[in-house]
């Protein structure tokens, strides 16, 4: 291991807190601000982000007094002692260099920079000015890793010989198709995003890597052209031992474990749950030796179980720092940096530029050994400029989503002239980039973009939506977006606007049956965020319809398909991806509809003469109950799915209990409305005779064929 002595840093004046600023205000900035409350002697004085609104929202949430949009403006005031650099990795070098040049101590989120050769210039700059330069290798400060280091320092494992790491993690972006994140920009970037966590731990345990061999699994081609490998196996020869690392991405079970094997003992670390189970040689016979090690493990794991539950409670009420391994690792990493800034202790090796250099060198070596490119694929050719609208032009908003893709395919197959409004045109497939489809880049709620796209169009199919947990924000945003689309359609003289609402907008907690003519729930205040948003959007369109805009509203029910999310919220509350708590007992039929059948109905609504000014619900003819659907999921996928039947009143009492606890802890909360739970149960049957008559809606009727179109065969 390389240990270089850091120069004496400049320190804040005696008795004054370290005035700290954050550059970048994304997800990780929120974590830093939460954790910094537990770091003594630190005052956050400013946030800096090129997107002012994002920084202002974060500043209000955490009481940060100042927001800037440029690093130069942040540093010009001279009232900042230290900066946390939390921008995307490609900007780390430039931002860190500017801050160091201004005489400010710098902590950079991992990776420190993108190339090991870039570390030296930051090191030299910090050394010349007597500043602390650190990288947030927070996983090396993880409580279980710290405990292992204590065992090693005490000699309990003897000489450490081998470390085996299993990193098995879901990546939400892979499922959603959102490949805009840094880790998906090249074949090798996953090493710089996920690998650095593991490699920094290996550096702290075994020293720098001398040789690496890599085996990658099959690759998939992402929408941006990057070849992405889900599975990586690395064998490493390090300065003080060997290591094996497996990284598996896009999996349904999350697990990160470390097994450290020494000459006289071993330790098994579960980083998700914060445990470090030590096994050692004893003088006893084998059966007693095994019993003693198992008993020690039971005591340790039992203690962690109690600490995890109790720690959540005391953390919720602010009585102590949460017993969350990730947050504790972050806290101790930030404490180490600010302790070094104040001169209380030297900067630990794992946070040093030397460690960052060696970790980056390992990323580079692993990429070379795997033959993984560190360069992004060539960008797609520029999209042709949109031509004037053609006769019968159909504009689709939300055409890249689950339902939108199917609608676009149907419209193209029918030879309809098509226009798309998309936020990320660079991710469009080649067949939509050849000029046959007009493409406008922008947000589906931007009036200027909508005016350009709608000019000369005959009809609009609106599938775009928003989501979130803040009921008021979702309601406002969804209503404003639909109002903007409706007003743009009215101004452009569009002949029909088909809006894809949802049966979530209806009151479905009573007996009987309703068709599309029944309007949205008349008590939106008693509903959840998504339902309130859809109700508000429908009210906006009804106002425009009354003023003369030809609007058709279509409400799909529980939409399923072989490339969609099977864990649908219409079935129940998925507390885990394989555990579904039913909206009731789960014994009555639910209104499932295949995505392809739903898309056919939506496209038909664009032209059906009788559909003008009407509303429809779309539900299929195969009506499985929730418990049967989950049982089919288990049978056809081979996964361990469970359905938990629950009385609605008992579910509401649980939610009410959570509300009381959050109220006592002064945490954000929303009143749990029983009406919303009851409506989610789908007790009210959906009659679709009007959709059959007017739209030619003809959903799948055969149960076997229906299930075959929803689920892949077992083992596939």
Name the strand (E) or helix (H) holding 664: helix 648-664
- Residue 13 pLDDT class (50, 70, 90 cuts): low
Measure the CA–CA gap between 598 and 498, rounded to whole angstroms: 13
Confidence of residue 179 (pLDDT cuts 50, 70, 90): confident
**Residue 468 in this model has a pLDDT that exceeds 60:** no
pLDDT band of residue 1 (cuts 50, 70, 90) is very low
Domain-by-domain residue ranges, the chain?
Answer: 18-135, 140-318+346-370, 394-710
Lowest mean pLDDT segment, chosen from 169-183, 262-276, 485-499, 562-576: 169-183
Q: Is it the case that residue 102 has pLDDT exceeding 90?
A: yes
Give the model confidence (pLDDT) of 376-434 as tens digits: 999 888 999 999 999 999 999 999 999 999 999 999 999 999 999 999 898 898 899 99
**Pairing of β 227-229 and β 219-221:** antiparallel
* 625 DSSP β-pair partners: 589
Using pLDDT thresholds of 50, 70 and 90, give the confidence band for residue 467: low
pLDDT of residue 564: 75
b/e map 239-261, b = 16+ CB within 10 Å: eebebebebbbeeeeeebbbebb
Closest CA to 196 of 126, 113, 276: 113
pLDDT score recorded for residue 412: 97
pLDDT of residue 8: 41
pLDDT at 180 over 70: yes
Give the pLDDT band (50/70/90) at residue 15.
low
Using an 8 Å Cβ cutoff, are 114 and 95 in contact? Answer: no
Cβ-based neighbour number of residue 631 at 10 Å: 15
- The H-assigned helical ranges of 169-285 are 172-176, 189-190, 196-206
Same fold, 18-135 and 140-318+346-370: no
- Considering the segment(s) 18-135 as one domain, its CATH architecture is 3-Layer(aba) Sandwich (3.40)
End-to-end Cα spacing for the chain: 45
Name the average pLDDT for the chain.
Answer: 93
pLDDT digits (tens, 9 = 90+) for 678-715: 999 999 999 999 999 999 999 999 999 999 999 865 33
For residue 562, the model assigns a pLDDT of 85
> Does position 594 have pLDDT exceeding 70, yes or no?
yes
Question: How far apart are the C-alpha atoms of 157 and 160, rounded to whole Å?
Answer: 7
Between residues 106 and 562, the one the model is more confident about: 106
| Contact by Cβ (8 Å): 18, 80 | no
Q: Where does the pLDDT of residue 16 fall: very low under 50, low under 70, confident under 90, or very high at 90 and above? A: confident
Distance of CA 147 to the CA centre of its chain: 30
- Predicted confidence at residue 7, as pLDDT, reads 36
For the entire predicted model, the pTM comes to: 0.89
State the pLDDT at residue 698: 96
Query: Distance (Å, rounded) from C-alpha 474 to C-alpha 10?
Result: 47
For residue 229, the model assigns a pLDDT of: 95
Identify whether the C-beta of residue 52 lies closer than 8 Å to the C-beta of residue 73.
Answer: no
State the pairing for strand pair 227-229/160-169. Answer: unpaired
User: Each residue of 205-255: pLDDT tens digit?
Assistant: 999 999 999 999 999 999 889 999 999 999 999 999 999 999 999 988 999
List C-alpha distances in Å: 243 to 161, 240, 248, 275, 649: 8, 10, 17, 20, 53
CATH code, residues 140-318+346-370: 3.30.360.10
**Looking at residue 206, what is its pLDDT?**
98
In Å, the largest CA–CA distance within the chain is 90
What's residue 471's pLDDT? Answer: 62
Sequence-ordered list of residues with C-beta below 8 angstroms from that of 386, at least 6 positions apart, any chain: 419, 438, 439, 440, 452, 453
What is the per-residue pLDDT across 139-162, written as a single tens digit (0 to 9) for each? 999 999 999 999 999 999 999 999
Q: What angle do CA 636, 641, 647 make, to 5 degrees?
A: 125
pLDDT surpasses 70 at 4: no
Q: What is the pLDDT of residue 9?
A: 45
Helix (H, G, I), strand (E, B) or coil at 67: strand
N residues, the chain: 716
Question: What proportion of the chain, given as a percentage, has pLDDT over 90?
Answer: 84
Residue 33's alpha-carbon distances to 67, 187, 333, 397, in angstroms, are: 14, 32, 13, 37
- How many Å apart are CA 166 and CA 159, to the nearest integer? 22
Report the percent of the chain where pLDDT is more than 70. 96
Tokens 């609605």 sit on residue: 648
The pLDDT score that the predictor gives to residue 342 is 93
Instruction: Name the CATH topology of 394-710.
Output: Rossmann fold (3.40.50)
Mean pLDDT of 66-86: 95
> What was the pLDDT predicted at 430?
87
**Contacts for 443 with CB less than 8 Å, ≥ 6 apart:** 423, 449
Which residues have C-beta within 8 Å of that of residue 378, sequence separation ≥ 6? 225
């Amino acid at each position: 291991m390389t240990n270089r002595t850091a120069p004496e840093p400049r320190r804040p004046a005696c008795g004054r807190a370290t005035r700290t600023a954050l550059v970048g205000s994304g997800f990780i900035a929120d974590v830093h601000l939460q954790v910094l409350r537990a770091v003594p002697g630190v005052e956050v004085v400013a946030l800096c982000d090129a997107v002012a609104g994002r920084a202002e929202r974060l500043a209000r949430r955490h009481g940060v007094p100042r927001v800037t949009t440029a690093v130069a403006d942040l540093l010009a005031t001279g009232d900042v002692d230290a900066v946390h650099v939390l921008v995307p990795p490609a900007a780390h070098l430039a931002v860190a260099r500017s801050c160091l040049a201004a005489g400010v101590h710098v902590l950079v989120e991992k990776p420190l920079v993108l190339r090991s050769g870039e570390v030296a210039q930051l090191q030299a700059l910090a050394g010349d000015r007597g500043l602390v330069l650190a990288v947030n290798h927070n996983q090396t400060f993880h409580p279980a890793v710290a405990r292992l280091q204590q065992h090693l320092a005490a000699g309990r494992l003897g000489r450490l010989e081998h470390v085996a790491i299993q990193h098995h993690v879901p990546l939400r972006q892979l499922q959603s198709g959102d490949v805009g994140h840094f880790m998906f920009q090249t074949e090798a970037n996953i090493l710089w995003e996920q690998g650095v966590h593991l490699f920094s731990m290996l550096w702290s345990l075994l020293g720098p890597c001398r040789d690496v061999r890599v085996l990658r699994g099959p690759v998939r081609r992402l929408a941006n052209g990057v070849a992405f490998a889900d599975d990586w196996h690395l064998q490493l020869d390090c300065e003080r031992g060997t290591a094996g690392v497996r990284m598996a991405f896009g999996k349904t079970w999350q697990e990160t474990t470390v097994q450290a094997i020494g000459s006289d003992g071993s330790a098994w670390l579960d980083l998700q749950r914060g445990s470090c189970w030590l096994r050692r040689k004893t003088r006893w016979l084998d059966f007693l030796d095994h019993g003693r090690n198992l008993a020690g493990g039971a005591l340790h794991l039992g203690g962690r179980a109690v600490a995890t539950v109790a720690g959540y409670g005391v953390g919720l009420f602010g009585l102590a720092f949460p017993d969350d391994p990730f947050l504790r690792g972050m806290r101790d990493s930030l404490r180490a940096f600010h302790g070094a800034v104040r001169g209380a202790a030297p900067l630990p090796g794992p946070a040093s530029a030397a460690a960052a250099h060696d970790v980056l060198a390992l990323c580079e070596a692993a990429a070379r050994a795997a033959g993984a490119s560190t360069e992004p694929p060539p960008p797609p050719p520029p999209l042709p400029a949109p031509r004037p609208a053609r006769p019968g032009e159909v504009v689709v908003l939300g055409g890249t989503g689950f339902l939108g893709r199917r609608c676009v395919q149907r419209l193209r197959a029918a030879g309809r002239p098509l226009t798309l409004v998309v936020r990320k045109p660079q991710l469009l497939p080649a067949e939509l980039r050849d000029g046959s489809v007009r493409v406008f880049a922008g947000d589906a709620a931007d009036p200027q973009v909508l005016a350009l796209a709608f000019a000369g169009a005959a009809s609009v199919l609106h599938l775009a939506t928003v989501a979130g947990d803040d009921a008021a924000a979702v309601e406002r945003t969804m209503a404003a977006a639909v109002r903007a689309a409706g007003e743009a359609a009215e101004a452009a003289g569009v002949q029909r606007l088909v809006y894809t609402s949802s049966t979530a907008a209806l009151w479905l907690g009573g007996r009987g049956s309703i068709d599309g003519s029944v309007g949205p729930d008349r008590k939106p205040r008693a509903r959840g965020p998504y339902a309130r948003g859809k109700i508000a959007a429908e009210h906006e369109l009804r106002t425009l319809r009354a003023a003369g805009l030809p609007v058709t509203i279509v409400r799909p029910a529980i939409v399923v398909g072989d490339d969609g999310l099977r864990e649908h919220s219409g079935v129940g509350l998925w507390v885990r991806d394989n555990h579904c708590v039913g909206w009731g007992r789960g014994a009555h039929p639910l209104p499932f509809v295949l995505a392809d059948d739903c898309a056919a109905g939506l496209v038909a609504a664009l032209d059906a003469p009788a559909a003008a000014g009407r509303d429809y619900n779309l539900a299929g003819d195969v009506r499985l109950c929730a418990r049967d659907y989950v049982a089919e999921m288990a049978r056809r996928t081979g996964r361990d799915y469970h359905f938990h039947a629950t009385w609605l009143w008992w579910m509401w009492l649980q939610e009410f209990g959570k509300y009381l606890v959050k109220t006592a802890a002064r945490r954000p909360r929303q009143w749990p409305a029983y009406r919303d739970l009851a409506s989610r149960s789908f007790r009210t049957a959906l009659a679709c005779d009007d959709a059959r008559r007017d739209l030619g809606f003809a959903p799948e009727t055969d149960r076997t064929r229906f299930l075959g179109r929803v689920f892949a065969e077992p083992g596939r």
